[in-house]
Amino acid sequence: MTESVATAQQFNSEVPDSEFWTVHQGDARKLGDLLRRAALVAGREGQPFVQTTITSPPYATLVDYGSENQIGFGQSYDDYLESCRSVFLEVNRWTLDAGSMWVVADSLLERRRKGGAPSRLVPLPFELARQAEAVGWTLREVIVWRKDRTRPWSHHGKLRNGFEYVLFFVKSNSFTFEVDRLRETNGLKSWWVKYPERHNPWGMTPDNVWEIPIPVQGSWDNAAFRHACPFPPELVRRMVRLSTNDGDVVFDPFAGTGAVVAEATRQGRRGLGVELNPKYVSLFREGAPTMGALPSESSSVGAMTQRLLELRMLKYPKDLAKQIVRGGFTTTHVRAVTVEVKSVNYKPSRTAYGRIECSVVVADDLSELDRARLSKLMLEVGAKPPLSKYGLEAKCDIVSIAEASSKFVGREIAVYTKGRTWHADFSIDGDRLEDWVRKTGVPTVVPVISPLLVRQSLEESL
């Protein structure tokens, strides 16, 4: 336990605007003055301005954070909950409609109960959620933060506690939640090569179990004075990236040594914190451990994303040919399909990943009637799964063998046979396309031809 320190509980109103986005010493039950001033500095006088709040309230009445009149330690459990509720209410008032609040908390064991009743697990995160909902927040998601190390407590009937809860609250339906920013392409199963259309090129939607190690204290910390539970920067980073944009205000009313403010600042947001214990505030100001260069929001497109996009664009014409054959045509009629990439949308997007142009190359003796039938079929199959699921804008037409060849004069083109659109068999000059198609005769599987050259092995990742 650290020594108790007396604290001035009013926020220092002398702080100049230029130094405002930092951790302030003060009491989270008296946020009014600070938040009014913050709204003014943020250019939104008297109006909501906080985009998200990321915080962990004191651990019920169990942990002494070393200041007099702190929330939690020294209070009754009911008073503690009431104090947290008053903080949640004030935060809600100053939060933008699209805003949110993240609360990190853990359950606890109530021992020595009356009449020798068994120790009881208190679901503190959900009791805090009840307080938050009572003052206008809506609980929207619960994330399990899986930790590598925990407090060394053990008790009969308890397993080693390996996680904490992260509660995500929203103020309205228009809340910001940029899930694309947390997608990852690591860990794709080997079948991504054959089935690129089943993978978002930016990776899977992240799940709600986050494995994040606790930081090793010491690198920035004064060894003689440590905080009991600093947030790991990675935990804060995920919440900031999900729920805020550049320049937004990120608030923490129980700031401790300021991990939220530091990481929010590093991400190009405006971080604001309040902490009762002046020693923690000084520690933040001396160290500001995680401040540094701003990483760019628009991280460059990874090799895996690029490859998944290419594979999608090459597989589309193969599936188009397959649907055409299912619709009654044979490879005697359809001799190849060409595909050209017209544009790629390099931003995670819920609309199209890009635009392609496909040409179905038909035999010279295909009748006008059959051409018309094929054209109608192509429209029909393009509007239905599997093709409609590719997320591509595809413009498709029908061309003769000679027309196909003339499109690629002077360009090198890759030829994908036997349906292996992830690995080109060979490439040829566009001028030789007509020769090649005629010489090959009737294929068993319609070949795909494209200026896009991909040679991806099934076994190896990128």
Ligand X SMILES: C[S@@+](CC[C@H](N)C(=O)[O-])C[C@H]1O[C@@H](n2cnc3c(N)ncnc32)[C@H](O)[C@@H]1O
Summarize as ranges the residues that interact with ligand X (CB under 6 A): 27-29, 56, 58-59, 65, 67, 70-71, 227, 229-231, 254, 256-257, 259, 274-277, 280
Nearer to ligand X, 59 or 137 (CB): 59
d(CA 415, CA 337): 10
**Please, what is the minimum distance in Å from the beta carbon of residue 452 to ligand X?**
48
What dihedral angle (degrees, nearest 10) is formed by the CA atoms of 186, 192, 196, 201?
0
What dihedral angle (degrees, nearest 10) is formed by the CA atoms of 311, 316, 322, 326?
150
**Please, what is the minimum distance in Å from the beta carbon of residue 229 to ligand X?**
5
**Please, what is the minimum distance in Å from the beta carbon of residue 184 to ligand X?**
25
Nearer to ligand X, 28 or 170 (CB): 28
Nearer to ligand X, 71 or 404 (CB): 71
Nearer to ligand X, 66 or 354 (CB): 66
**Please, what is the minimum distance in Å from the beta carbon of residue 6 to ligand X?**
13
Residue 414 bridge partners (DSSP): 427, 450
Nearer to ligand X, 67 or 100 (CB): 67
What dihedral angle (degrees, nearest 10) is formed by the CA atoms of 361, 364, 370, 373?
20
Longest dimension (CA), the chain: 94
Nearer to ligand X, 57 or 430 (CB): 57
Element (H, E) at 403: helix 401-407
**Please, what is the minimum distance in Å from the beta carbon of residue 131 to ligand X?**
15
Residue 274 bridge partners (DSSP): 24
Nearer to ligand X, 67 or 243 (CB): 67
Of 431, 446, 361, the C-alpha closest to 397 is 361
Distance from the first to the final alpha carbon of the chain: 51
**Please, what is the minimum distance in Å from the beta carbon of residue 447 to ligand X?**
59
Nearer to ligand X, 58 or 391 (CB): 58
All residues at 6 or more sequence positions from 30 whose CB lies less than 8 Å from its CB, including other chains: 9, 10, 11
Spell 275-308 as b/e; 16+ CB within 10 A means b.
Answer: bbbbbbbebbeebbbbeeeeeeeeeeebebbbbb
**Please, what is the minimum distance in Å from the beta carbon of residue 157 to ligand X?**
25
d(CA 269, CA 255): 16
Q: Are 462 and 304 a contacting pair, CB within 8 Å?
A: yes
436 backbone φψ class: left, alpha, beta (φ>0; ψ -120 to 50): alpha
d(CA 50, CA 396): 49
**Please, what is the minimum distance in Å from the beta carbon of residue 25 to ligand X?**
9
Letter for the amino acid at 438? R
**Please, what is the minimum distance in Å from the beta carbon of residue 299 to ligand X?**
25
d(CA 330, CA 441): 13
The three-state secondary structure class of 209 is strand
Spell 382-412 as b/e; 16+ CB within 10 A means b.
Answer: beeeebeebbbebebebbbbeebbebbeeee
Nearer to ligand X, 106 or 319 (CB): 106
* Residue in the shown chain whose Cβ atom is closest to ligand X: 256
**Please, what is the minimum distance in Å from the beta carbon of residue 109 to ligand X?**
18
Nearer to ligand X, 257 or 267 (CB): 257
**Please, what is the minimum distance in Å from the beta carbon of residue 170 to ligand X?**
21
**Please, what is the minimum distance in Å from the beta carbon of residue 257 to ligand X?**
4
Q: Are 363 and 403 a contacting pair, CB within 8 Å?
A: no
Nearer to ligand X, 58 or 382 (CB): 58
Nearer to ligand X, 27 or 434 (CB): 27
